[in-house]
Copies of this chain bind each other. A is one copy, B any other.
Amino acid sequence: MFSVTILGCNSAIPAHGRNPTSQVLQTQDNSFLIDCGEGTQMQLSKFKIKPSKISHIFISHLHGDHYFGLIGLLSSMSLMNRIQDIHIYGPPLLKEIILLQCKASNSDFSFDVHFHELKENAVIAETNKMLISCFKVEHQIECWGFLFKEKKNPRSIVAEKVKSFEIPASFYEQLQKGDDYITKKGTIIRNEDVTIANEIAKSYAYCADTIYDESLIPIVKEVDLLYHETTYLKDQEAKAAARFHSTTTQAAQIAKQAKVKKLMIGHYSSKYESLDSFLIEAKEIFENTELGTEGTCYYV
């Protein structure tokens, strides 16, 4: 199980008390920051989320509303004497921007920063419990989505059982995957006699800023939670397309066609003070939609 907390849900300009884009995905072991608009460090503090647990930061693209808060967050981590390494994934120029600002302040971070340039759709990071891959999305500039998949093995080993059947440790990984064990004498030890089923591994797809694009459907197929931007309401389809953004209806259509379990929407244009119509319009197409709002924690 993991959770996704929205730190910022507005597009472009902060407005109506809504901040630019940032989300944090929290597992038991790690926190993963997804985009980092201006004010992200204040939002983390407001919602009592510890920056020290953030091990990986994923930046979708270099429009300011998705990364202007990164340098401030890193600087504050350094001022708080962080020592753990941090991994940052993003488009090429990100590293240059951060390092130029370090040079200007004649300072270095108190911890090691590993920059990883996004280049192609691929698995980019792995922790004990999570596999993270990136996928290209269609926006005005180079832009990436991120797919988080829990790595849970389907089955857990029952220690006393494997011991009593004298199954060697070298076979444990196969047991966790569901294989039966065959003894040297040819006896079959059935998997369900030595393991128990685990929760199913959960998944979260973050589609960043994107035009309506059906090529995303196979990538986000059947995820437990899909974040798809809805910068505009459905009557603004032409404007959305011109600016490489999406509408409520379009986000819901992607969710429906990809048969995801739940859709979360966000990245609302500053021209909308009320968000009620966003939820209503998306639900018309895909009932299990949630309005992404700041401070809300979505459990997956």
Q: Which residues of A contact B (CB under 8 A)?
A: 12-15, 19, 38-39, 41-42, 45, 62-65, 68-69, 71-72, 75-76, 79-80, 91, 93-94, 96-97, 100-101, 103-106, 140-141
Contact = CB atoms under 8 A, between A and B. Distances in A.
Contact of A105 (B13, B41, B64): B64
Contacts of A100: 93, 96-97, 100
Nearest to A40: B38
A103 B19 CA distance: 23
A12 B81 CA distance: 13
A75 B37 CA distance: 12
Give the number of copies in the complex: 2
A14 B64 contact: no
A101 B19 CA distance: 20
B93 A141 contact: no
A72 B103 contact: no
B72 A64 contact: yes
Given A69-B38, A96-B100, A100-B93, A15 B45 contact: yes
Q: Which of A13, A69, A103 has the most CB of B within 10 A?
A: A13
A79 B39 contact: no
22 contacts: A12-B76, A13-B79, A13-B80, A14-B41, A14-B42, A14-B45, A19-B42, A38-B42, A38-B69, A62-B101, A63-B105, A64-B71, A64-B72, A91-B104, A93-B103, A93-B104, A94-B104, A97-B97, A97-B100, A97-B104, A100-B100, A105-B141
A41 B38 contact: yes
Contacts of A42: 14, 19, 38-39
A272 B93 CA distance: 37
